[in-house]
Amino acid sequence: MQTAQPTASPLGILLLVAAIYLVVKSPRKLQTLGRMGIAFVVTALLFMVPGAILRRGDPQALGAIAGLVALLVAVITGWWHTRSLKRNSAETPGQPPTKV
């Protein structure tokens, strides 16, 4: 007997696309990806650990909600980080590019 595969949430797909876009457009891709990863893990743990301790609700639903919220927080963190990088580069006048 086969179980049905859970369908992907449209919000999750949209957030994943936004996260990829932020990493690609970021001037410091690895740093942005690292901060987004840390935000994702911390947020997911903040949702899942208390739920596991209290043993309430459906664990699969709690995991899905935790994943969506963690992805949302990761996208917000990446956007904030990219915005601060662009703001800092606009405030400090850079040297004109040299031709090689």
Q: According to the model, what pLDDT value does residue 84 have?
A: 85
Q: According to the model, what pLDDT value does residue 47 have?
A: 79
Report whether pLDDT(95) > 60: no
Domain ranges across the chain: 26-87
Q: According to the model, what pLDDT value does residue 5 have?
A: 65
In this predicted model, what pLDDT tens digit does every residue of 10-50 receive, in sequence order?
Answer: 888 888 888 888 888 888 888 888 888 999 888 888 877 77
Residue type, 63: G
Report whether pLDDT(3) > 70: no
In this predicted model, what pLDDT tens digit does every residue of 68-93 receive, in sequence order?
Answer: 888 889 888 888 888 888 887 776 66
Report whether pLDDT(51) > 80: no
Burial class (CB in 10 A: 0-12, 13-18, 19+), 71: buried
CA angle 42, 76, 66 (to 5 degrees): 40
